[in-house]
Structure 1
Amino acid sequence: MKPDAEARAAAAEVRAIYREWEQRPLERSCTGRGDCCRFRLTGRTPFLTRGEALVAALAWRAAGRTSVPETADGACPFLKAGRCQIYEGRPFGCRTHFCDAAGGPASRKEVRDLIQRLEEIDTRLGGRGGVNLPGAVAAAMNPRRPG
């Protein structure tokens, strides 16, 4: 996957949104335990916009990976030995801590403006809303180009 100029610009916009989130003065205390990454146990799987999936796919490729593995236990495919292998490229839902140990999910009021910007990027990239994490990143890793 070699991103074109539009994809590189979208990835830069998504990363800027992530940085803006990190600079907000909200109480978060992620301990990196990985409990929230066990989707089958939590009943929550993050849904990614195309821009988020692109950033995650770029991080996964940078780690030398070429495909998204399936997990038998229903955990995030990027979780290994209890740690996120794409931590810097993790999606917005992972950053807003659905984990109870990290303070629970951010309120809609706290993230609405950032979600709207992610949705605008999704629309520009031809997306139609969030897709579950494994499927979204797998699609971003192997985009089908017309022609």
Structure 2
Amino acid sequence: MSDEAIAAVREVYAALAARPVSRNCTGVSQCCRFRLNGRTPFLTKGEALVAARAWRAAGRKEVVPPADGSCPFLGKNGLCQIYDGRPFGCRTHFCEAAGGPYARNEVRDLIQRLEEIDRRLGGNGGVNLPVAVAEAMESLPGGKKQRRR
């Protein structure tokens, strides 16, 4: 089911990218500094699986939130280390430098698709990014939950 869910989430991300909403990420990474901006993205189970798979592909085995409260995927160079696998909230974020947030009516249908994938996976709605991805990492092949079986 996780491969199907990952494919379905990636379809949602592709549909978002095809929308004619103008955004221009400048890479200043203010949005990735959760403690400083007071906002942490919440992920559905499917989004967390996509991010966890990207993190695993980067050779990582666990998610360790930095002491400064930044996103655990923010590299020392200030760039996202899982950019292609970043969650929906990171793609539609509140960053003023990138054009501000998407209006909910621009993405409501995509949010509903992510929520449906979450329900199929047995999720309970959004979970904060570090926790959601850490749990998803455990469920991937080779993760702690997989080894216990």
Unaligned runs of 5+ in 1: 1-5
* Aligned counterparts of 1:69 and 1:130: Cα–Cα separation in 2: 19
Corresponding position of 1:108: 104
Q: How many pairs does the alignment contain?
A: 142
Is structure 2 residue 67 aligned with structure 1 residue 75?
no
TM-score between the two structures when normalised by the length of structure 1: 0.93
CA RMSD of aligned residues (A): 1.2
Identity of matched residues, %: 68
Q: The residue matched to 2:70 in structure 1 has which SS?
A: coil
Aligned counterparts, 1:23-102, within 5 A: 23-80=18-75, 81-102=77-98
Is structure 2 residue 131 aligned with structure 1 residue 135?
yes
> Is the Cα–Cα contact under 8 Å of residues 97 and 103 in structure 1 kept in the other structure?
no
Q: Which amino acid aligns with 2:2?
A: A
Corresponding position of 1:3: none
Task: Report the Cα offset of residue 33 of structure 1.
Answer: 1.5
Unaligned runs of 5+ in 2: 140-144
Cα deviation per residue 1:49-102 (whole Å; 9 max; x = unaligned)? 000000000000000000001211100000012100000000000000221111
TM-score between the two structures when normalised by the length of structure 2: 0.92
